[in-house]
Structure 1
Amino acid sequence: MADPSTYRPAAGSIPTEPGVYKFRDAHGRVIYVGKAKNLRSRLTSYFADLAGLHPRTRQMVTTAAAVEWTVVGTEVEALQLEYNWIKEFDPRFNVRYRDDKSYPVLAVTLNEEYPRLFVYRGPRRRGVRYFGPYSHAWAIRETVDLLTRVFPARTCSTGVFKRHRQIDRPCLLGYIDKCAAPCVGRVTAEEHREIVDDFCDFLAGRTDQMIRRLEREMNTAAEELDFERAARLRDDVGAMRRAMEKQAVVLGDGTDADVVGMTGDQLEVSVQVFHVRDGRVRGQRGWVVERSDDDSVGEEVAGFLTQFYGAQVDLDATVQIDDDRAHGESIPREVLVPALPDDHADLQQWLSDLRGSRVALRVPQRGDKKALFDTVTRNSAEALAQHKLRRAGDLTTRSAALTELQETLGLDQAPLRIECVDISHVQGTDVVASLVVFEDGLARKSDYRHYSIRHAAGDGRSDDVASIAEVTRRRFLRHRQDQKSPITSAVDPDTGRARKFAYPPNLFVVDGGAPQAHAAATVLDELGVTDVAVVGLAKRLEEVWIPGDDEPVILPRTSEALFLLQRVRDEAHRFAITFHRSKRSKRMTESVLDGVPGLGRTRRTALVTHFGSVARLREASLEEISAVPGIGMATARAVRDALADDSAPDPAPSDLAVGAPVGPTPAGPGSDDRTSGGEDR
């Protein structure tokens, strides 16, 4: 735990102008970003008595090792710079508003020749227009089912569209007039795009003018005695009205607004947003986040609006097509909030600049808007209650496990970042290693790594101790190299990728007993790494070995700490076996084909890629083998002859199972029976 007084700026050195500040930890990572009207006043508050600080703030200032700031001209500039830095550095102690679930949206692929309507979840893509989010996917399907009667746009997948174009026959929706059937040429690409544009206009809120237009056409058709067409138009108007009824009218004046409700306790805050367009609720989103500090409701509102609307505009700039009708839809004309922040005028100006027109930020006081705001607030309270019921057990378990690990292993702090190494091989061949990462008790799969072991044992067996030492050395050499170069950004300027291993774990776990743990600890001592605790977890008795101790630590079977270590170790084992299987399968397939006349490395690789395994290659006919690019009939016969002469059995799936013995190998002293070699690991 660092002492904030060691990096406190000298008295009078902090300017009094507005600006943005960053706290960095001992490894150079930005862990917190904030803004202030008066930098001196704000930063001085962080160096007050630790006992008087909020627990999260106290943890932040004791984790940090340096503070720096940037002076700006206006508070609006400070707001913009704060958002940019939060987006760039992703600081650990800043509250991050992320959806509590994946909301479905209605996607329209305007980047295709024949645009398609479909339900979608996931990241936004360029050239696709999105409507929503909706609470349920069935709500989108009901809306599309009603509106395709009026706007018969394509809803089929690309494969279905191509198939019906080839057979020159529409699908069922084409026969019942719920699709204009562009696949068979009933409408041109331009006519189909006009249908899709009208559909988008209707969902964007331009409903009244479209209904009036259809009613005029219906009356004209009736006057011309074209009663059949008039009846179809009448049914279309009815379908549009039913689709509108499914979106409840909450504000009769056609209000364009987002309504934000917040409910929180001492630990967490629940945020709900209702998106109201043209007086109707078009979508709903929700978050439950950890409370960052003793902030007022106004300060929490400012933080949420900055992140939420900044991210929305970034998405529009990244994926939105050039369409003036869609411009600015992500930011409404009015935002209703539970309290105004102190800098609400600057925040309102920033939102107006993003939208390109005036945005009003206010607290509803009476009338329909106040009633809707109360509804949104009740939804946020219900979401917080459900979140606590759903997550209480998991949060409690993880916290208890990390605390127990800290106390049992005698660590200075809870091991918030745990890395684990496992070795996998078969009698010393195809030796690989995996490194998995857990942060706050949860797997961080983006940081996983696997290694091909470079050393080779002379007796044909893998030396797990040497493999552990090699992986440890390679991992921490990278860390030491990053330490020597100044870290000025969360993004590596050379590769353009986020820095993920520029800081060490709190706890380094190796799969094995005392020899493996000692090997890892020896490497860390050689490299001068002193702030990483090392333990070994032996599989047979689940013993925890600490380097230098003659006896292992035996955790109770009901221990949450032991359960966490087991999950970390098992995940490393799974990841190592996955990599080992792929490597061994490729080697065995290519080795069978060695020596086949006319079959070089390129053709062997083509066969391996095409069939995937020796078993499938054996089952293939001459015609199937010769169909592989570069393989003629003569070479295909040579391959078949080589496979027929090969009497070695193909590895069965059971041979690749976890812990399946391949051959007897005596265990060395101090090793458990699953780390001694002679197993598929």
Structure 2
Amino acid sequence: MSDPAKYRPAPGTIPVEPGVYKFRDQHGRVIYVGKAKSLRSRLNSYFADITSLHPRTRQMVTTAAAVEWTVVSTEVEALQLEYNWIKEFDPRFNVRYRDDKTYPVLAVTLNEEYPRLFVYRGPRRKGVRYFGPYAHAWAIRETLDLLLRVFPARTCSAGVFKRHNQIGRPCLLGYIDKCSAPCIGRVSATEHRKIVDDFCDFLAGRTDRLVRDLEVRMREASERLDFEVAARLRDDIGALRRALEKQQVVLGNGTDADLVAFATDELEAAVQVFHVRGGRVRGQRGWVIEKAGEAIEPGVADTPDGDLPILVEQFLTQFYGEQAALAGQDDEQPAVVPREVLVPVLPPNADEVQAWLSELRGSAVQLRVPQRGDKKALSETVQRNAMDALTQHKLKRASDFTSRSAALQGIQEALDLDSAPLRIECIDISHVQGTDVVASLVVFEDGLPRKSDYRHYAIREAAGDGHSDDVASIAEVTRRRFMRMRRDFGTGDLANGEKTVVLEDGPELTSDAAIDPQTGRPRKFAYPPNLFVVDGGAPQVAAAAEVLYALGITDVAVIGLAKRLEEVWVPGEVDPVILPRTSESLYLLQRIRDEAHRFAITFHRSKRSRRMTASALDSVRGLGEARRTALVMHFGSVARLKDATVEEIVEVPGIGVGTAKAVLAALGAEDKADPADAH
């Protein structure tokens, strides 16, 4: 780890003009590239107070050994140079949105004498036009099969084309009129290219002209009494319309737009892009990127959206920069940037990004956040796709046995445990300013959640000052969880053959106590976890460890996972354990912690909701908590209770006529009570 003060530029030597800067490590490798409206202001912010920097930025500046910069004339030039340097040096602290090779596209080889249509995956090539990407290869083949009767272009490989040219007979598609058979000279190269050009026009959205031309030719054939040709053209028109039905209109007025959405967590981000051309969704792309090593420019992490604006900027520059580089190889490619780019939040320098996109397109481009209407609704759909993609990515990693094994092994080695922690339990506290304090306990076995063992806790010991005391709450939950184990089984070296364990101040317990006499199955909390995780740092870990020590439990490892820096705290240690950001071990611990947080938040919201809905009944004299709960449970909500009559309310056990009228009066529904009864 280097000291940033050693390579800080001398005061006054950094120019105030806009430019791009590079941080290099001790080996001369570029580790981060950034841009600034004022180089002096931006670079000084990296060295002013290292403790105030974002953790990832702090890691970057302490890894670097030198900084250099290049002055440019405008901020748009800085944007372009930053993109070029990120592409050239591939810095480890910059996010790279590499093209996803898993999505299939429909490729048209315009660089060949007889262009070919085929499904393709892989990097883009010069002279080939691409349509898509599509979610599934079968979707391309289905659409292609429909369109080949209208545009009978070649789909065979070079070898098949050459072989049929030699034997003088077409393939099966040539016999069934789904190929114009250029291999045997049935059409010339010029005629075949005209077919391919019409096919490209159709997929590019210029559909109305083609349909009108076919309709005119169908009527002309019918007037000539050439009904066979007219019937064939009618079928072609039907095929085109069926293909169009597969591409539903989502935005009106022939809108051309790209909609971008993000779903992020501490370590990763999922990006989804929908390409809308002519009002129809023509393609979709997706990425999942590691953002753990990304350096955040000073001040960005303090914005309401966190690091999302900078992620948006980096994606726009890298994605459209790559597309422009590909399209620049072939003049046949359409404009890579649509008229509109819709994003979840605007990047920090939205005007410069918009100007740069306009230069790429050659005309004005609007970069904005949709606020209402169809575009807002479609943006929400893209956002749901991004969230689903991130969830599926996490589940895929979690379900990978090799990854789980590596994660457990890594935790064992990092914490110096005797064995891999096959059972991990994690607790988390949730509250709002010290009210409705609850806790959750989640269980992972073999790296997978065991939801049947999840538990909720309502915290009983309130803080004396009226505010939340997470440390005391963690101690209470830890005590209750392991006292439950003490009642069900006890702790000790039972795995080594001991059948009887005596705990401090506790009765003698045997291993037979671990079996539920009613079900004959092991009790769920009769056995201790190998690893007990708390959400927090050193104070929280110390509280949990103290409880275990008081209970005489010595065979359970306790750690804390601090959310901000993702540090692993061990009891009695001054410094935390730092796991590699990209390690499966940290990913597993983070997932367990996040699951405990989710479970706690869900319980807290439900409890708070029940309390708030029942608060209107607190003023009813003689109506205790049990009967309030019975009323809400019987009617489902306070709103339904308010709409009920006195006769319906008294059907609830323990509720009389007088209480029912008092309930309606408290809810503002006195008119439902009999006025005569009021006297």
Q: Shift in Å at residue 396 of structure 1?
A: 7.2
Q: Is 1:311 equivalent to 2:334 in the alignment?
A: no
Deviations 1:619-647 (A, max 9, x none): xxxxxxxxxxxxxxxxxxxxxxxxxxxxx
SS at match of 2:66: strand
Deviations 1:30-82 (A, max 9, x none): 01000011222221222244443223222211111001111111111110110
Q: TM-score, normalised by structure 1?
A: 0.57
Report the Cα distance in structure 2 between the residues aligned to 1:174 and 1:152, rounded to whole angstroms: 9
For 1:441-480, what aligned pairs fall within 5 Å after superposition? none
Provide Cα deviations, 1:410-438, integer angstroms capped at 9, x if missing partner. xxxxxxxxxxxxxxxxxxxxxxxxxxxxx
Matched, 1:358 2:358: no
1:404·1:560 contact (CA, 8 Å) conserved in 2? Answer: no
Structure 1 position 199 matched with structure 2 position 206 = no
Counterpart residue number, 1:151: 151
Q: TM-score, normalised by structure 2?
A: 0.57
Q: Which residue of 2 aligns with 1:13?
A: 13
Residues 403, 34 of structure 1: alpha-carbon distance in 2 compared, 3 angstrom cutoff: farther
- Cα distance in structure 1, aligned partners of 2:55 and 2:239: 56
In 2, the alpha carbon distance for the partners of 1:2 and 1:356 equals 45
Letter in 1 for 2:385: N
Q: Which amino acid aligns with 1:390?
A: K
Please give the per-residue CA displacement for 1:102-157, whole angstroms capped at 9, x wherever unaligned.
Answer: 21111111111111111111112221111111111111111110000000001111
Per-residue CA distance 1:158-217 (angstroms, 9 max, x = gap): 111111111111111111100001111111111111111111111111111111111111
Q: Give the aligned partner of residue 341 of structure 2.
A: 335
Map of 1:339-418 to 2, 5 A cutoff?
Answer: 339-392=345-398
- What residue is the counterpart of 1:44 in the other structure? 44
Indicate the structure (1 or 2) with the bigger Cα radius of gyration: 2
Q: Which residue of 1 aligns with 2:310?
A: 299
Using the TM superposition, name which of 40-49 and 124-133 deviates more. Answer: 40-49
Contact 2:211 2:240 in 1 (8 A): yes
Alpha-carbon distance in 2 for matches of 1:316, 1:396: 42
Q: C-alpha displacement at 1:400, in angstroms?
A: 7.3
The offset of 1:377, in angstroms, is 0.6
Deviation at 1:370, TM superposition (A): 0.8
SS at match of 1:47: helix
**What's the counterpart of residue 545 of structure 2?**
none
Give 1:245 deviation, angstroms.
1.1
Deviations 1:300-354 (A, max 9, x none): 2111100000010111123x2x33xx331x2111101111123111111111111
How is 1:229-268 mapped onto 2 (pairs within 5 angstroms)?
229-268=229-268
How far off its partner does 1:405 sit? 7.4
SS of residue paired to 2:17: coil
Q: 1:105 to 1:141 in 2, by over 3 A?
A: same
Taking the TM superposition and a 5 Å limit, the aligned residue runs for 1:477-496 are none
What's 1:287 paired with?
287
Aligned ranges 1:319-330 → 2 under 5 Å: 320=330, 322-323=331-332, 326-328=333-335, 330=336
Q: Distance in 2 between matches of 1:7 and 1:23?
A: 10
Counterpart AA for 2:372: R
SS of 1:205's equivalent in the other structure is coil
Take 1:359 and 1:304, find their aligned partners in 2: how far apart are those partners? 16
| Superposition deviation, residue 401 in structure 1 | 6.8
Work out the CA distance in 1 between the residues paired with 2:189 and 2:113. 6
3-state DSSP of counterpart to 2:338: coil
Structure 2 Cα separation of the partners of residues 78 and 122 of structure 1: 31
Contact preservation (8 Å) 1:397, 1:560: no
1:363 partner letter? V
Aligned 1:544-559 pairs, distance under 5 A: none
Task: Select between 7-16 and 185-194 the one with higher mean Cα deviation.
Answer: 7-16
1:78 is matched with 78
Aligned residues of 2:320 and 2:337 also touching (Cα < 8 A): yes
1:101 positional shift: 4.8
Runs of at least 5 residues in structure 2 that lack an aligned partner in the other structure: 417-582, 586-679
Match of 1:132, as an amino acid? G
Letter in 2 for 1:111: N
The corresponding residue for 1:163 is: 163
Q: Give the CA RMSD over aligned residues.
A: 2.2
Which gives a bigger RCO, structure 1 or 2 (Cα 8 Å, sep 6+)? 1
Paired residue for 2:213?
Answer: 213
- 1:270–1:289 contact (8 Å) kept in structure 2: yes
**Partners of 1:260 and 1:181 in 2: how far apart?**
42
For 2:328, what is the secondary structure of its paired residue? helix
Is the CA contact 1:401–1:560 (under 8 Å) kept in the aligned structure 2? no
How far, CA to CA, are the matches of 1:181 and 1:63 in structure 2?
62
Amino acid at match of 1:298: P
Closer, same or farther in 2 for the Cα pair 1:25/1:134, shift >3 Å? same
Stretch of structure 1 that moved more, 106-115 or 390-399: 390-399
Count of aligned pairs between the two proteins: 406
Question: Any stretches of 5+ residues in structure 1 without a counterpart?
Answer: 409-558, 562-681
Contact persistence 1:19–1:78 (CA under 8 A): yes
User: Do 2:124 and 2:326's aligned partners in 1 also have CA atoms closer than 8 Å?
Assistant: yes
- The 3 A distance-change label for structure 1 pair 560 and 245 is closer
- Give the distance between the partners of 1:4 and 1:93, measured in 2 at CA: 16
Q: CA deviation at 1:11?
A: 2.4
Which secondary structure does the structure 2 equivalent of 1:144 belong to?
Answer: helix
| C-alpha distance in structure 2 between counterparts of 1:186 and 1:63, whole Å | 67
- Kindly indicate whether the alpha-carbon contact (under 8 Å) linking 2:101 and 2:123 is maintained by their aligned counterparts in 1: no
Q: Secondary structure at the match of 1:78?
A: helix
For the residues of structure 2 that align with 1:366 and 1:52, how far apart are their CA atoms? 38
1:445 alignment counterpart: none
Q: Quick one: distance in 1 between partners of 2:414 and 2:5?
A: 26
CA distance in 1, matches of 2:100, 2:76: 30
The 3 A distance-change label for structure 1 pair 3 and 83 is same
Using the TM superposition, give the Cα deviation of residue 560 of structure 1 relative to its aligned residue in structure 2, in angstroms. 9.7
SS of 1:14's equivalent in the other structure is: coil
Checking the alignment, whether the CA contact within 8 Å between 2:260 and 2:343 is kept in structure 1 is yes
1:46–1:61 Cα contact (<8 Å) kept: yes
Identity %: 72
In 2 relative to 1, CA 359–366 (structure 1 residues): closer, same or farther, beyond 3 Å? same
| CA 399–79 in structure 1, closer or farther in 2 if over 3 Å, else same | farther
- Superposed displacement of residue 406, structure 1: 8.2
**Cross-structure match for 1:271:** 271
Q: Secondary structure at the match of 2:65?
A: strand
Q: Aligned in 2, Cα 1:560/1:327: closer, same or farther, shift over 3 Å? A: closer
Residues 346, 369 of structure 2: 8 Å contact kept: yes
Structure 1: which amino acid aligns with 2:345?
Answer: A
Deviation at 1:265, TM superposition (A): 2.1
In structure 2, C-alpha distance between the alignment counterparts of 1:344 and 1:399, rounded to whole Å: 41
* Residue number in structure 2 paired with 1:129: 129
Q: Where in structure 1 do 4 or more consecutive aligned residues deviate above 6 Å?
A: 393-408
> In structure 1, the residue corresponding to 2:115 is in which secondary structure?
coil
Q: By how many angstroms is 1:385 displaced? A: 1.1
Contact kept in structure 1, 2:403 and 2:584, CA below 8 Å: no
